Amino acid sequence: MGDKWTGLLRKLDDFRYEIPREYKNGMRVPGIIYADKEMIEIVCQDQSPEQVANVATLPGIVKYSLAMPDIHWGYGFPIGGVAATRVEDGVISPGGVGYDINCGTRLLLTNLTVDEVKPKLSELLNAIFVNVPSGLGSEGKLKVKGKEFDQVLLKGARWAVENGYGWAEDLERIEENGAMEGADPAVISAKARERGAPQLGTLGSGNHFIEIQRVQKIFDPEIAKIFGLFEDQVTILIHTGSRGFGHQVCTDYISVMMSAIKKYNISLPDRQLACAPIESSEGKNYFSAMVCAANYAWANRQCITHWIRESFEVVFRRGAHKLGLVVLYDVAHNIAKMETHNLDGEDVRVCVHRKGATRAFPKDHPEIPEVYREVGQPVIIPGDMGRASYILVGTEKAMETTFGSTCHGAGRVMSRAGAKRSTTGREVLTELAEKGIMVKTDNIKGLAEEASEAYKDVERVIEIVEGSGISKRVARMKPMGVIKG
Amino acid sequence: MKFELVEHTADIGLIAYGKTVEELFENASEGLFSILTDITKVRPLDEYKLAVSGEDLEDLFIRWLNELIYFWEVKRVLASRFSVNIDNNSLEGLIYGESFDHNRHTIEHGVKAVTYYDFRIEYDKLNEIWKAKVIIDV
C-alpha cells in the first residue's frame, strides 16, 4: 500500500475537511474531502488526498477540487473525485473520467416479493448467468460491425431499444435518456472499435456485477412511492460500463493529451492528469470520443436489461411487463458533462468531471425525468456483495456545494492482494451463503478481491453524504444473489 | 528478479527489472501477462510480430504495454515469451504464446490499461540494472 498522507488538513465542519491552497504550489483552488472524524483517518491511509490537491492545479478549475467520502487512491484523479472546469478557459482531462467511461449503475424494479423469488433464486441466477455473457475472457453474443457500430455510439440505449432490446419507456429513465449529445464516431480509433465490437452486451469482470436484491428498509415513504419502491420488494442492480471500448478510448486520448500538455504548455504534478483546453481540437475530440463510449455503456446496460427480463420471463412464466420489470433509473459514475452551475451568483458553463462520483440533481431540475421532477433524481449506490446498496435522492445542497454530485459506492480500503491474503474466494462464498446470499461466478478465486472487508462500510459513506446534505436516503437493499464476472 | 507486483488500493503496481532496456521491456511484458493469467500454463507455440513507437523511452514503454493489452483482447492470444528490439524510440517485438483456451487457462484479472501515474524508468548505476514502475488499472 502507499504511504500514509500527512499533508495540511483543516476541519471545516463535521463532514468536510479542507486542503488549503497553500498546501501545494500550483493549487488554484482548495481541496475539500467529504469525511467525518473517523473516515478522514481511513482516507489519509494512502495518497488519495495528494491526488485531490493535484486535481486542484488543473487550469480553469472552479471553487474547489472535491472528494466524496468513498474516496480512494486512484491514478491522476482519486476515485471519488469531482472537479468542474470553466468551459471558457478550462481543461478537460481523460484522467478525470477514467478508463471505464460511463461505468454506472441501473436499478430494475419488480412487483415480486422476497417470498415469491426465494424458491426460484437459484434457477433465476442460473438463467441470467447463461443469458448475460459475463466474466473474464467472455465475448458477447451481439455481432455489431461497421456502420451499425457507429449507430451504437451515436444512439446509445436507443440503438438497443430500436433493435429489440428493451422498451421505449426505458429511455425516459436513463441519465441523458441513454444517448448523450456530441458523439462523433470519426474520432474513434480502429483499435477501440476492434476492442469494443465483440464486447458489447457483456458484463465484464472486476467489481462489475448483477445483483438480485430485496428492499430491506424504506427511509422516505413518500419518495419511495414515487420511485416505485416498497419493503420486501425484489430489485435488480446492474453495475457495468463501456468495457474494452472505453478503456481503449481513454488510452488513445491520454496519449493525445501527453502531446497536448506540451503544445499548450500546461504543467501538471502528475502526468496521468494530462489534459487539453476544452475548446481546443484535442479537448473537443476527446469529449466526442468520451460521449461515444458513454453511449456504448448505456447500450450495454440496456442489452443486459433485456436479457435479465427474458430470464425472469422464463423462470416465472410471465411477461416482463406483468412482472413489473421497469427501470427505476440508470446513472453514470465515471463521466465528464457540460453543465451550468451557479458560481457566486452567476450561471457559468463548466465541465464537471465525475470520477467515481454520481450526479445527484435536485427536484425541479430540467435534466431529470419528469416522473421524478417533484422529488429529485434517484441515485443508485452499490455497496459490496455482503452488505447493502442504497437508493438516494439528489438535493439542492448538492447543487450548491458539489456541482450536483454525490458518492458512487463504498470505496475500496484494501488492495486486491491484501484482500487475497486476508481471505479466499471459497471463504467469501461460504460467508455469503451463511448470510443467505448466493453467488454465481466462474472466477471463485477473484471473489476474495471483492470481499466485504476490502471495502469501506457503505453505511458510513451514506451517513456522511446525508449528514452533509448532498443526498438523502430513500431505501436500502440487501443482496439475495450476485452474478460476478 | 524479472518483475514484482506491488499493492495499490484499486489497481496493481508492476515493477520490472532488466540488465538492458530490451530485457526491461521483456520482463515487464511477462509481468503484465502474469497479472492476466498463470503464464506457466501458456505454451509459446505461436509467434506474433508487433511494432510500436513513442516520443521517448518512457512513452514507448507505456505504449508497448498498452499494445499488449489490445493484442490480448482482440486476438485472444496469451503470451509467455517476449523478445524485443529497441532502436531510436521504436520497438519491434516478437511475442510467443497460444490462443486462449477456457479449459486450460484461467484469466485472473481483466486488465484495462497501463497508467502514467507514479511511472518512472530508472537506471541504477550501482547495481547496473534498469527498473520501471507502473500502475495497471485492473
Task: Provide mean pLDDT across the span A441-470.
Answer: 92
Q: Which residues of A are catalytic?
A: 408
A140 touching B, CB under 8 A? Answer: no
Residue B22 clears pLDDT 80, i.e. is over it: yes
Per the listing, cell 472546469 goes with A85
B118 touching A, CB under 8 A? Answer: yes
Least confident interval from A284-298, A299-313, B111-125? B111-125
Give the three-class secondary structure for A376: coil
Residue A1 clears pLDDT 60, i.e. is over it: no
Residue B117 clears pLDDT 90, i.e. is over it: no
Closest Cα in chain B, distance from residue A243 (Å):
8
Can you give the pLDDT at residue A445?
85
Task: For an interface test with B, give the residue of A247, A444, A450 to mutate (most B CBs within 10 A).
Answer: A247
Q: Domain A10-413+455-484, what architecture?
A: Alpha-Beta Complex (3.90)
Task: Provide mean pLDDT across the span A348-370.
Answer: 97
8 Å CB contact between A62 and A343: yes
Distances in whole angstroms, Cα of residue A330 to Cα of each of A39, A101, A141, A171: 28, 14, 23, 9
A330 touching B, CB under 8 A? Answer: no
Residue A413 clears pLDDT 90, i.e. is over it: no
Return the residue of A nearest to B107 by Cα. A136
A207 — pLDDT class (breaks 50, 70, 90): confident
H/E segment holding residue A381? strand A378-381
Q: Domain B3-137, what architecture?
A: 3-Layer(bab) Sandwich (3.55)
Distances in whole angstroms, Cα of residue A184 to Cα of each of A188, A375, A477: 8, 34, 38
A417 — pLDDT class (breaks 50, 70, 90): confident
Burial of A190 (0-12, 13-18, 19+ CB in 10 A): exposed
Helix, strand, coil distribution of chain B in percent, nearest 5:
30, 45, 30
Pairs of CB atoms within 8 A across A/B: 108
Q: Assign residue A228 a region: left if phi > 0, alpha if psi is -120 to 50, beta otherwise?
A: left
A237 — pLDDT class (breaks 50, 70, 90): very high
Closest Cα in chain A, distance from residue B88 (Å):
18
Q: Domain map of chain A by residue range? A: 10-413+455-484
Rounded to a whole number, what is the distance in angstroms from the first to the last CA of chain A? 25
Q: Domain map of chain B by residue range? A: 3-137
Find the CB nearest B107 among A79, A136, A418. Answer: A136
Return the residue of B nearest to A98 by Cα. B137
What does the pLDDT look like over A386-408, one tens digit per residue?
899 999 999 999 999 999 999 99
8 Å CB contact between B13 and B131: no
Cα(A69)–Cα(A35) distance, rounded to whole angstroms?
5
- What residues in B contact A414, CB-CB < 8 Å? 9
Residue B41 clears pLDDT 70, i.e. is over it: yes
Residue A414 clears pLDDT 90, i.e. is over it: no
Closest to A58 in 3D by CA, of A263, A313, A270, A291 = A270
Q: What is the mean pLDDT of chain A?
A: 95
What does the pLDDT look like over A154-178, one tens digit per residue?
999 999 999 999 999 999 999 999 9
Return the residue of A nearest to B63 by Cα. A255
Cα(A395)–Cα(A401) distance, rounded to whole angstroms?
10
Q: Is-above-0.90 flag for pTM?
A: yes
Give the three-class secondary structure for B12: strand
Instruction: Enter the ipTM.
Output: 0.92
- What residues in B contact A73, CB-CB < 8 Å? 8-10
Can you give the pLDDT at residue A138?
67
